[in-house]
Structure 1
Amino acid sequence: MSFLLTLSPEAQLLRQALRQQILTLSRHFHDPRTFESLALAVFRYQALYNPVYSNYLHHLNVRAEQITDLRRVPFMPISFFKNHTVLTGADINSFDTLTFASSGTTGEQTSRHYVPDPALYDAISTQIFEQTYGSLRDFHILALLPSYLERNNSSLVYMVQRFMDQNDSDESGFFLHNHQELTERLRRLSQKSDAKKILLIGVTFGLLDWAESGQDLSFLGQLPNLIVMETGGMKGRRKELLREEVHEILMSRLGIQTVHSEYGMTELLSQAYSHGKGVFQPSSTLRVFLRDINDPFLIYPDNYTRTGGINVVDLANLDSCSFIETQDLGQYVDEEANFRVIGRFDNSDVRGCNLMIL
């Protein structure tokens, strides 16, 4: 990859070693010591070779070699992706890079996430999904993502397209506002004799619009292999609702027992999934810490029950920054670090790809 030419030979070897360890981390999914050790190694690498993050640490008077506890690592405010080129060991002018951008209102500064190693993102996003739901080859994937399809730099559309490329299904596809076609596709799949599961993944306002379109969707409750997954986000199209309220509406209108969720955003290359009730499980390359609402450098213990700001360690962000202070609010659910996303800080922008407002 040409962007590695901006690294010294020693740094190139270090990055390649870290990349390989990240890709094989799934073997140690439930070993927090392995994750922490690798995360600290990534921290030291990014502290050296990411100019934006290095400068941030300098202003905090933090020396990377003195950090031996993952909870002491400074998390970079997510807003930096709006105002800076966040890259580790790369010069944006030295390669043709994949670029993701967040959604935003007209004239608003949006986040940009540069991805010089798309193969790493492809491998990790696939690995996380298949660890959670099984092989992509066992799915038909229907994507109701109208707002994302209207622009060409959505990380969510990119990920879902890569999933479709792997699942070998002629029935998979994207849907804009064509609700009738989506219903007919699902009806046809309900009559198929194959054993494939059906994943219907949609932005929240799109799923609600479809569910309330007046069509007869009662047959969906008879599909045991159907997974309905919301990705959050009203994008100004509808009144913001609690995730629980959205799920109740969808379950009632579609006749299903549960609604799954995806937690992801432009600035993160890893995802977390929920099998229902808005409870997310950390994935092999992603961990969530909660910080004090008033003191961003105070990290809560795993069994803390109060609401806190969500900090994310995302090892898939090897070439940007793996330590992100988001503007999301969350709570721990149990000592396994499962978590809920319950809202956003009042003064933060409404991002349309990951959650409801409290």
Structure 2
Amino acid sequence: MELQNNIAVTELRQRLRDQILTFEPSDFEKLALQIFRYQADHNPIYKQFIGHLQIDPGTVEKLTDIPFLPIQFFKTHRIKTGAVSKVKTTFESSGTTGQQTSRHDLYDPELYETISEQIFREKYGDLNHFHILALLPSYLERNNSSLVYMLQHFIKASGSPFSGFYLNNTAEMLKNLRSLIAKPDGKQVLLMGVTFALLDLAENEADLQFLKQKNDLIVMDTGGMKGRRREMLREEVHDILTSAFGVPQIHSEYGMTELLSQGYSSGSGLFTAGRTMRILLRDINDPLSVYDHNISLSKTGGINVIDLANLDSCSFIETQDLGRFGEAEGSFYVMGRFDNSDIRGCNLMVL
């Protein structure tokens, strides 16, 4: 009987996985509710959490009815759905000494790689149209970062001999960047870096004078001071970086250890959720009061994320970030964090 149940659960998972890769945007809610019912039945921690809230999964008929699992559970429990068995890798969040870190098991690397590439392509275009220069020293000092994993895939998919990670060899990176700017080959250059490393580079503004010429460089801030610098307002950071790199806007990525989907910002802190991601907001004083994009755009709330790519963990996460909606459907701002929550390395910096 147990074997038959496992086979049935495995077949259900495969059907949902296929839909995640092919669904139309108009079918997002329908698929999210299917995944909710699957996880409510086959994720022991999430099932227990729903039970404590005395919510009958059968009564959940819209996205705002779904209970969202507090993100702190990834620090204290192994969050797993279904009959998947072999963990391929475990992502771990960064943290200062003494902090308890989050852990997120990855069972299906191909799904993560495909979804993250789809999201990037829809925002920026094919990866093979880019040279990707990754400046992520603190992430490379550990081997379990989801951001490094994603960028390893991006760098390989770009097919560029200039693409790669630059840990302490910023001189080589600048040499390659100068060459790519001086002799464009039709590909765009994406410089993607952790905040403190980009600021370190910007301090040597004399070395960046060649960028003052017209260029289509994309500078993307992944967030994070890692205790190396004082926390700064996003606007302050981006003013420094736009001046130093000679670009009109600083792009940003919204992602975290507990999520397999990403959001991207082309500037001004306005993010667009990826195709497998939906942002909802919750009332600051009542976490079970959740609302969608129809709410007043000026209202700030806690960010809840639906991440369909989290098929094997939990797709419904209550984060500790504060946000509000942008004017366009699917757009949002990250306003900061709740008081007394840990500073996270993979988010936009604290405001």
Provide TM-score, normalisation by structure 1: 0.94
Q: Structure 1: which 4+ aligned runs deviate by more than 3 Å? A: none
Pair 1:179-2:175 in alignment: no
Change beyond 3 A, Cα 1:16–1:125: same
Q: Which whole-Å CA distance do the structure 1 matches of 2:318 and 2:91 have between them?
A: 19
Q: Which whole-Å CA distance do the structure 2 matches of 1:199 and 1:47 have between them?
A: 40
1:331 Cα deviation after fit: 1.0
1:337 Cα deviation after fit: 3.1
Greater CA drift, 101-110 or 342-351: 101-110
1:245 Cα deviation after fit: 1.4
Partner of 2:203: 212
1:335 Cα deviation after fit: 4.8
> In structure 1, which of residues 46, 52, 56 is the aligned counterpart of residue 39 of structure 2?
46
1:36-72 deviation per Cα after TM superposition (whole angstroms, max 9, x unaligned): 0000000000000100100000101111111001101
Partner of 2:314: 321
Q: Which whole-Å CA distance do the structure 1 matches of 2:83 and 2:100 have between them?
A: 23
Partner of 1:258: 249
Identical-residue share of aligned pairs (%):
59
The letter for the 2-side match of 1:168 is: G
SS of residue paired to 1:356: coil
1:223 Cα deviation after fit: 4.7
Q: Which whole-Å CA distance do the structure 2 matches of 1:352 and 1:299 have between them?
A: 26
Partner of 1:19: 17
Pair 1:202-2:193 in alignment: yes
Partner of 1:248: 239
Pair 1:309-2:307 in alignment: no
Partner of 1:350: 343
2:323 and 2:335 in contact (8 A); partners too = yes
Q: Which whole-Å CA distance do the structure 2 matches of 1:324 and 1:96 have between them?
A: 21
SS of residue paired to 1:297: strand
Superposed, 1:110-259 pairs within 5 Å as 110-259=101-250
1:138-184 deviation per Cα after TM superposition (whole angstroms, max 9, x unaligned): 11000000100000000000000100111110011111133322211
1:320 Cα deviation after fit: 0.2
The letter for the 1-side match of 2:230 is: K
SS of residue paired to 2:291: coil
The letter for the 1-side match of 2:142 is: R
> In structure 2, which of residues 41, 49, 52 is the aligned counterpart of residue 59 of structure 1?
52
1:259 Cα deviation after fit: 0.7
2:303 and 2:321 in contact (8 A); partners too = yes
Q: Which whole-Å CA distance do the structure 1 matches of 2:69 and 2:327 have between them?
A: 26
Q: Which whole-Å CA distance do the structure 2 matches of 1:297 and 1:308 have between them?
A: 12
Q: Which whole-Å CA distance do the structure 1 matches of 2:4 and 2:269 have between them?
A: 42
> In structure 2, which of residues 271, 280, 284 is the aligned counterpart of residue 280 of structure 1?
271
Corresponding residue pairs, total: 347
The letter for the 2-side match of 1:296 is: P
- Mark the runs of 5 or more structure 2 residues left unpaired by the alignment: none
SS of residue paired to 2:304: strand
1:91-126 deviation per Cα after TM superposition (whole angstroms, max 9, x unaligned): 6xx424211000012232110000111110010001
Q: Which whole-Å CA distance do the structure 2 matches of 1:62 and 1:222 have between them?
A: 59
Greater CA drift, 188-197 or 348-357: 188-197
> In structure 2, which of residues 249, 261, 267 is the aligned counterpart of residue 270 of structure 1?
261
> In structure 2, which of residues 8, 19, 39 is the aligned counterpart of residue 10 of structure 1?
8
Superposed, 1:79-118 pairs within 5 Å as 79-90=72-83, 94-118=85-109
Aligned residues: CA RMSD:
1.5
Change beyond 3 A, Cα 1:111–1:7: farther
SS of residue paired to 2:286: coil
Partner of 2:291: 300
Q: Which whole-Å CA distance do the structure 2 matches of 1:307 and 1:12 have between them?
A: 40
Greater CA drift, 132-141 or 295-304: 295-304
